[in-house]
Structure 1
Amino acid sequence: MGREQSQMSYTVEQLVAVNPYNPDILPDLENYVNEQVSLQTYSLDANLCLLRLYQFEPERMSTQIVAHILIKALMAMPAPDFSLCLFLIPERVQMDEQFKTLIVLSHYLETAKFRQFWDEAAKNRHILEVVPGFEQAIQEYAVHVLSLTYQNVPRSVVAEAINIEGVSLDKFIEQHGWIVEGKGELVSLPRNEFNHPELRKASSANSIPLDRITRIFPLLG
């Protein structure tokens, strides 16, 4: 099974590299999207290629496939994949209710409005649950945002961001190795250069100043 899946990936990547504008590869790319969904893999390049081909062959566009691509792109946040994909989708198609919903969800994620995101997602489970791993991917994105923002964060904020409470939240915190303080109401997040600016200063101290780099360029010429 592993060898077959690897061969399939290699074949699709070759098709994209050699024939990116050949409409004959549309079925292969669509099958590859379905494979990404079922195997929980991801290929932005292949998906962008498919969306470009749909621009040239609009009558062959599968809205179901496009929805899967956009959901997978949301799962890739904080990468800007969703915007890249949306740029290739005609506005008339974006007016479809499921795409309007995904655009709203994207906005909530980009602005870190996690409570609104989870509320909207709960209303549209029929759109999102067809792609396995969606909830877990968004939770990890929420963790990423929290780690850039807080040194210590109230437990209630963590619960709202990842949409988990009670014992399940305790397990989530334990799995990430976070330290709980303040009678269990405060979560201490790992230090990084964003939530601890002094680490950024230390990192900068070890870097080469820009003016020294510019003086080196003529010597290299």
Structure 2
Amino acid sequence: MGREISSGGQKSSSSSSAGMSYTVEQLVAVNPYNPDILPDLENFVNEQVSSQTYNLDANLCLLRLYQFEPERMSTQIVARILVKALMAMPAPDFSLCLFLIPERVQMEEQFKTLIVLSHYLETARFRQFWDEAAKSRHLLEVVPGFEQAIQAYAIHVLSLTYQKVPRSVLAEAINIEGLSLDKFVEHHTANSGWVVEKGHVKSPLITLPSNEFNRPELKKNTADGVPFEHVARIFPILG
């Protein structure tokens, strides 16, 4: 369940709700266009940041309320929502949020930076992403777990592309080198099924777990199968 919020003495259809409390999820589900819940949703964004949790529906609800109450918009809160959305990649959350943000706001420098970062991630240009992110630490480091979330996304992208990834490519994608990279690889070797091939001196290869994308032969050929509903149609004929 989400954080409980006091109803502030508003009346419900059944009885007086003074003293009652609702979770953020309930407020969003029952009354998403009520501007009175805007402060609660803003506080909930900050809570997501501090607790390293995430609720896209609540954040989208807040952005929609900002559309109706533009004078109440907090650009700091909007920036945090977008950073959290970046951390959710490969989900399309960033685009969903951006669609609800006015163009005039998107033209502010911090949002232009986040849009560029999103583009680099979507196109797997990880070196450019980390270079740009290094210039915007003040914007990104206020959200704990950002670097780890992007590293997880980078590994996800590599796993879709490579059966065996050169260590140098991995290092560039996750922005880790030296002993830190050694520990990172050791952790995933022990926990994620990675295998290090040490025969390559310059850049050892790391074998990633097989999946239907890096090994297409594993993908089920549904075209060769016969859907059940097609088989079901002939049952009366056979009877």
2:217 alignment counterpart: 198
User: Which deviates further from its counterpart, 47-56 or 181-190?
Assistant: 181-190
Q: 1:214 to 1:26 in 2, by over 3 A?
A: farther
In structure 1, stretches of 5+ residues that fail to align are none
Question: Which of these residues, 89, 92, 99, is aligned with residue 87 of structure 1?
Answer: 99
Aligned-partner residue type, residue 156 of structure 2: H
1:209 alignment counterpart: 226
Residues 117-136 of structure 1 show CA distances to partners (whole Å, capped at 9, x for unaligned) of 00000011011001000000
TM-score (norm 1): 0.90
SS at match of 2:219: helix
SS at match of 1:21: coil
Aligned-partner residue type, residue 122 of structure 2: E
User: Which deviates further from its counterpart, 153-162 or 179-188?
Assistant: 179-188
- Counterpart Cα distance in 2 of 1:213 and 1:54: 47
Residues 78-128 of structure 1 show CA distances to partners (whole Å, capped at 9, x for unaligned) of 000000000000000000000000000000000000000000000110110
User: Between Structure 1 and Structure 2, how many residues are aligned?
Assistant: 213
Aligned-partner residue type, residue 183 of structure 1: G
Residues 128-168 of structure 1 show CA distances to partners (whole Å, capped at 9, x for unaligned) of 00100000000000000000000001100000000001111
8 Å CA contact 2:3–2:24 kept in 1: the answer is: no
2:177 alignment counterpart: 165
- Counterpart Cα distance in 2 of 1:199 and 1:122: 39
1:136 matches 2:148: yes
Larger RCO, structure (CA 8 Å, separation 6 or more): 1
SS at match of 1:74: helix
SS at match of 1:41: coil
More helix by share: 1
- Counterpart Cα distance in 2 of 1:99 and 1:218: 58
Q: 1:65 to 1:214 in 2, by over 3 A?
A: farther
- Counterpart Cα distance in 2 of 1:45 and 1:23: 16
Q: Percent identity?
A: 78
Aligned-partner residue type, residue 164 of structure 2: N
- Counterpart Cα distance in 1 of 2:109 and 2:89: 22
SS at match of 2:212: coil
Within 5 Å, give how 1:33-182 maps onto structure 2.
33-177=45-189, 178-182=194-198
In structure 2, stretches of 5+ residues that fail to align are 6-21
1:186 alignment counterpart: 205
RMSD (Å), alpha carbons: 2.2
- Counterpart Cα distance in 1 of 2:79 and 2:234: 51
Aligned-partner residue type, residue 123 of structure 1: K
